[in-house]
Amino acid sequence: MLARAAVPNAAALLGAARAAYARTREHVTQREQFGRPLVALKAVANGLAEIRMHLVATEAAVVRAVRIHEEDSAERAFTASAAAKVAGARAATSIARAAHQLHGAMGVT
């Protein structure tokens, strides 16, 4: 039962990560600095790529956990669920940090 509860939690983190990526991508594409979009700056593009990388890793972990729950043993399902939850939590932290920075991170040192 605990394993099944971890999958929706990881899926919720994935949804939040997708929204953060979409809003950040929109922001850096529309906002201009020095006469060109922010995304044209190498550091900004790298930050956006980092967010996308974490997002893809979380998506893969959640999809794998769902498939294993449908097909496999309880032990493997528990392991896959835990991995998805950990991947989602780690990604959420990194994505929040990078998105905040790409949005300007006013007042953060």
Q: pLDDT for 43-102, tens place per residue? A: 999 999 999 999 999 999 999 998 988 887 777 888 888 899 999 999 999 999 999 999
According to the model, what pLDDT value does residue 74 have? 76
DSSP 103: T
pTM metric for this prediction? 0.84
Does residue 108 form part of some domain? no
Does residue 57 form part of some domain? yes
Does residue 107 form part of some domain? no
Does residue 84 form part of some domain? yes
Does residue 40 form part of some domain? yes
According to the model, what pLDDT value does residue 71 have? 84
| Higher per-residue confidence, 72 vs 109 | 72
According to the model, what pLDDT value does residue 106 have? 67
According to the model, what pLDDT value does residue 75 have? 79
**Is 61 exposed, middle or buried, given 0-12, 13-18 or 19+ CB atoms closer than 10 A?**
buried
Does residue 64 form part of some domain? yes
- How many domains does the chain fold into? 1
Please determine, for residue 14, whether its predicted confidence score (pLDDT) is greater than 70. Answer: yes
According to the model, what pLDDT value does residue 50 have? 95
Residue 80 maps to which CATH number?
1.20.140.10
Q: Which domain holds residue 89?
A: 2-102
At 37, is the secondary structure helix, strand, or coil? strand
What residues form DSSP beta bridges with 36?
Answer: 33
According to the model, what pLDDT value does residue 5 have? 77
